[in-house]
Amino acid sequence: MIRLVLFDIDGTLIRTGGAGIRAFGRTADQIFGKPGGTDALRFHGRTDTSLIREFLRTNGIADAPWNVRHFLDAYVFLLDAELRRHPGELCPGVRELIAALRALPEPPLLGLLTGNVRLGAALKLVAHRLGEEFVLGAFGDDHEDRNQLAVIARDRASRRLGRRLAGEEIVVIGDTAADIACAHHIGAHCVAVATGGESLADLLARSPSVAVDSLEQISAGWVARGGAQSENATQWENLYQIGDTRWDKGEPAPGLVDFLSRTSDAVRGRVLVPGCGRGHDARAWAAAGHTVVGVDLAPSAVTAARSLASPSAALTFEQWDFLRPDNGLTEFDWVFEHTLFCAISPSQRDAYVEAIHQCLRPGGQFLALHYLQPRDESGPPFSVTVAEIERRFSAGFELLQHWVPPSFPGREQRERMFLWRRRPGAIRKLRS
Ligand SMILES: [Mg+2]
């Protein structure tokens, strides 16, 4: 469970359009008589203090505490002036994510982890009405090494909570390699967001828990569960981001289309499609008149699914871990799965069966389109046999029928559809 979420400011919460950089330049010029003296500095991900000391050293000025202080005193006034002229903009999804985090049943502490000095950070936040959102932080005047700022932020939050926070209870959200590195330094999760200029590919290369185009792709529940929740989420997200989605045929599974056409007189109900990917099957259910929720681990899949669907209350997509016992998905009339079971490692399959059972109302139906994989290979897809499917599901479900469906080319005779009805009662009792 995440107890602390630390936000970087520039490029993550706010894009100031270079107000800080201009204020640095004006300070160098007006206070130190060095026009252009900060032009060679690389600002991304740096702390203000380290930038000032580099400016001093490269301009032949004593790298002394009083010169750093002198610079900062002028800088914050000039920054204020710059922000009044050009406040810049909030990054997409910021206000919504913060509001959603605060609305969680057990909201984590929200803090700042920024290279800005404390006053500079306050000026930027106030300019965008974010000044009240954060209860603690670590700043560029606490330390010039960002990794140490992560330690300081963690320790401040620990004191506030009255116990030592573990790295796995912390998420760092930032837009640069330096943010990812400082998260790694304290063993925290890291959400890297490509709103600050660094590309997704560059961010991914630094191994964050996950990298996203914008914070719009991240739900509060997801952050509160550890950024990526699991290695699994990261792996799937990465496949979407590098475009390696070979399982996605761009249309609903022929077996599902066939089933829906044959059961067009069935009672319409609520349908859950776990592992929905880009939502092709979910859209087919919605087109058949059902109310559909598609969920997927990968934020990029959910973003794509939403963009491919016409806006409708009857078809929604959420970024969610279907396998979590507290996933909050219950009382569905139908669950449909398509090549999800084969992607779940055998060690997680008990959890998978229980999740299906939990999501359905008693008497609800589970329609599964399984990809059979008789050999035991390191997946995904992992080994799937008819015998295993029947063994795993029969405790909690009554098998109504199974058949060989029409398939995508290349998958003929490798697929099998099963229609189950959920038995009443808890699955553990049914099994024993
Ligand atoms: Mg930044």
pLDDT at position 245: 78
Task: Please tell me the distance between residue 36's alpha carbon and the centre of ligand 1 in angstroms.
Answer: 23
Task: Please tell me the distance between residue 304's alpha carbon and the centre of ligand 1 in angstroms.
Answer: 26
Task: Please tell me the distance between residue 256's alpha carbon and the centre of ligand 1 in angstroms.
Answer: 45
Task: Please tell me the distance between residue 97's alpha carbon and the centre of ligand 1 in angstroms.
Answer: 17
Task: Please tell me the distance between residue 14's alpha carbon and the centre of ligand 1 in angstroms.
Answer: 9
Task: Please tell me the distance between residue 374's alpha carbon and the centre of ligand 1 in angstroms.
Answer: 48
Instruction: Kindly give the pairing relationship between strand 415-422 and strand 397-403.
Output: antiparallel
Task: Please tell me the distance between residue 51's alpha carbon and the centre of ligand 1 in angstroms.
Answer: 14
Other Cβ atoms closer than 10 A to 35: 12
Task: Please tell me the distance between residue 140's alpha carbon and the centre of ligand 1 in angstroms.
Answer: 12
Task: Please tell me the distance between residue 130's alpha carbon and the centre of ligand 1 in angstroms.
Answer: 16
Beta-bridged to residue 332, according to DSSP, are 360
Task: Please tell me the distance between residue 163's alpha carbon and the centre of ligand 1 in angstroms.
Answer: 29
pLDDT at position 230: 52
Judged on CB neighbours under 10 Å (0-12, 13-18, 19+), 266 is middle
pLDDT at position 228: 46
Task: Please tell me the distance between residue 195's alpha carbon and the centre of ligand 1 in angstroms.
Answer: 9
pLDDT at position 227: 52
**Could you tell me which of 43, 47, 77, 49 has the C-alpha nearest to residue 63?**
49
For the chain, 432 residues long, give each residue's pLDDT as a single digit of tens: 899 999 999 999 999 989 999 999 999 999 999 999 999 999 988 999 999 999 999 999 999 999 999 999 999 999 999 999 999 999 999 999 999 899 888 899 999 999 999 999 999 999 999 989 999 999 999 999 999 999 999 999 999 999 999 998 999 999 999 999 999 999 999 999 999 989 887 888 888 887 788 888 777 877 877 654 455 666 777 778 767 777 788 999 999 999 999 988 878 899 999 999 999 999 999 999 999 999 998 888 998 999 899 878 899 998 888 887 677 788 999 999 998 888 888 888 888 999 999 999 999 999 999 988 777 666 677 788 899 999 999 989 999 999 999 998 878 888 999 999 999 887 766 655
pLDDT at position 200: 81
Task: Please tell me the distance between residue 43's alpha carbon and the centre of ligand 1 in angstroms.
Answer: 9
Task: Please tell me the distance between residue 12's alpha carbon and the centre of ligand 1 in angstroms.
Answer: 6
Query: Phi, psi at residue 238, to the nearest 5°?
Result: -60, -40
Task: Please tell me the distance between residue 177's alpha carbon and the centre of ligand 1 in angstroms.
Answer: 9
